[in-house]
Amino acid sequence: MFCHHLRQRALPDVWTFARKNVHKLASLQNVTSLPQKKAQSFLYPFSYMEPYLDRSVDRSDFRLFHPSVEDMLRAEKLFCSSLSHRIDYYTSVERMDHAPDIKQPEVCFIGRSNVGKSSLIKALFSLSPEVEVRVSKTPGHTKKMNFFKVGRSFTIVDMPGYGHRAPKDFVDMVEPYLFTRTNLVRMFLLVDGSVGLQTADRIALEMCEETRRPYVIVVTKVDKGAPRSLLLNLLSLQNVIQNETTSCFPQPFLVSSMNFWGIYMLRCFVAHITGTVQLSNTAQS
Ligand SMILES: Nc1nc2c(ncn2[C@@H]2O[C@H](COP(=O)(O)OP(=O)(O)OP(=O)(O)O)[C@@H](O)[C@H]2O)c(=O)[nH]1
Ligand SMILES: [Mg+2]
């Protein structure tokens, strides 16, 4: 449907570079020392895709949140555990009425089983490797709502996935949380960029809309699959966001938890919407 929006060019393979250097890439400082063009693609993944889109494609929504490197550096500090700012697993619960009574702002990550929720949280916490976040190749691995405290700044909640091998009580567990949790400031709905929006994702999208809470779409696994199909999936997703949603942030965030693409920007977005980092530019959310 969106093929005519793409320019006929092959994408260069910076992912090979990323795979070889992955141990260095968790830290923004190391990324900024790369040649500028390479660094840009890690910091602002859309900038890497952009030249391959036809000029007719409106790009403005993809740059609504566009923090500076300094903003991202300030946000990154929050993801480094220290004696005065401890990042730690807090608790796991199966029911909303057992959820911890924490006042600080909270964000949660939801999405199909295997879409990469736990991996994304692990990547966000990669500068504090002692924080244990379990990931697995087997769908349906995360069975409970897992709470991680980031000092006194905010809490991140890893949710069980829906769809294949989801916990039986998924709806009873997750819906009451999404609808009633008072300190929940943003929901992050993850969609696998290598396969695009699936029927189960559409159902989740409707559920997010029903909550009337603000939410954001995160496109995961951008390192996987052919770049061309990633771009087509992205454009089709953008079309759905524009035409079928009311409380979804217009900009989808592109990430790879394997090579840290977009992780620095997402750290900054989380820090920003939880009121922990004020931006130096005019980015909005
Ligand atoms: N290539 C690639 N694989 C990824 C990425 N993120 C996650 N994966 C893989 O996807 C699989 C599932 O990852 P998880 O993070 O456990 O997925 P989840 O959404 O938490 O799954 P459930 O807990 O079952 O709901 C694992 O094999 C990960 O290594 C990514 O960015 N790129
Ligand atoms: Mg998980």
Is residue 193 scored above 60 in pLDDT? Answer: yes
Tens digit of each residue's pLDDT (9 = 90 or more) over 3-15: 667 665 555 566 6
Is residue 82 scored above 70 in pLDDT? Answer: yes
Domain 3-7+14-273, CATH among 3.40.50.460, 3.30.160.270, 1.20.120.1810, 3.40.50.300: 3.40.50.300
Indicate whether residue 117 lines ligand 1 (CB < 6 A): yes
CA 270 vs. chain centroid, Å, equals 9
Indicate whether residue 137 lines ligand 1 (CB < 6 A): yes
Tens digit of each residue's pLDDT (9 = 90 or more) over 155-191: 999 999 988 776 777 788 899 999 999 999 999 999 9
Flag whether the pTM goes above 0.85.
yes
Rounded to an integer, the average pLDDT of 12-32 is: 76
In terms of pLDDT, which residue wins out, 158 or 283?
158
Rounded to an integer, the average pLDDT of 192-213 is: 94
Å from CA of 57 to ligand 2 middle: 34
- In the chain, at which residue ranges do the beta strands (DSSP E only) sit? 87-93, 106-111, 145-150, 154-158, 184-192, 215-220, 253-254
Q: Which residue ranges make up each domain of the chain?
A: 3-7+14-273
CA–CA dist 98, 207 (Å, integer) = 22
Q: What three-state secondary structure class fits 17?
A: helix
Is residue 51 scored above 60 in pLDDT? Answer: yes
Rounded to an integer, the average pLDDT of 245-274 is: 96
Give, using CA atoms, the residue closest to atom 14 of ligand 1.
116
Q: Which residue bears the tokens 């004020």?
A: 278
CA–CA dist 233, 227 (Å, integer) = 10
Indicate whether residue 233 lines ligand 1 (CB < 6 A): no
Handedness of CA 74, 75, 79, 85 (dihedral sign): positive
